Amino acid sequence: MDKPFLYNQDFYGWTQQQAKALEQRLVMELDWQHLQEEIQALGRQEYRELVSRLSVLLGHLLKWEYQPEQRSRSWFLTIREQRRAIRRHLRQNPSLKSRIEEALLDGFEAGVDLALRETNLPLRTFPEHCHYLFDDAIANNFLCDTRQDWEG
């Protein structure tokens, strides 16, 4: 069956065919164009995962900092979970470290939106630009100390 046709009509079948061709080193059976596109998409997905986790972390750090009277165990645990997940993601994808600053900026925008949705605070409450350093944001003892148990 025509490789591009299979890619468009049965993506799962295409992946299985391509995996088999790779395993057996059948170079002529490989759909080079779509393989390249899919590999690039996998890389973008890893970056989006980092930004997504940073968005949640930064949004909760903003809530923690700017609405201290509403602090909760849930916020504490979300901050703890996201810090761990970001560190793990970077251990598994160390090349992403070259894009930390960009990811922090992208994540901050979405983090502000998260904080706005989950608080009654006006936009002007929050800084226009990320005022957290990446290493601080993921440090267990920064702003919300997640090295110990929750003490509300």
Burial class (CB in 10 A: 0-12, 13-18, 19+), 2: exposed
CA-closest candidate to residue 54, choices 91, 94, 81, 93:
81
Query: What is the three-class DSSP state of 120?
Result: coil
pLDDT in tens for each of the 152 residues of the chain? 566 678 888 888 888 898 999 999 989 988 988 899 999 988 899 999 999 999 999 999 999 999 999 999 999 999 999 999 999 999 999 999 999 999 999 999 999 999 999 998 999 999 999 999 999 999 999 999 998 888 87
What is the pLDDT at residue 3?
A: 65
Q: How much is the pTM?
A: 0.85
The answer to whether 47 and 100 are in contact (CB under 8 A) is: no
Cα–Cα distance for residue pair 63/72, rounded to 1 Å: 10
Q: Where are the alpha helices (DSSP H) in the chain?
A: 3-9, 11-23, 32-66, 73-92, 100-118, 134-137
What is the pLDDT at residue 71?
A: 95
What is the pLDDT at residue 1?
A: 54
Q: How many CB atoms lie within 10 A of CB 9?
A: 11
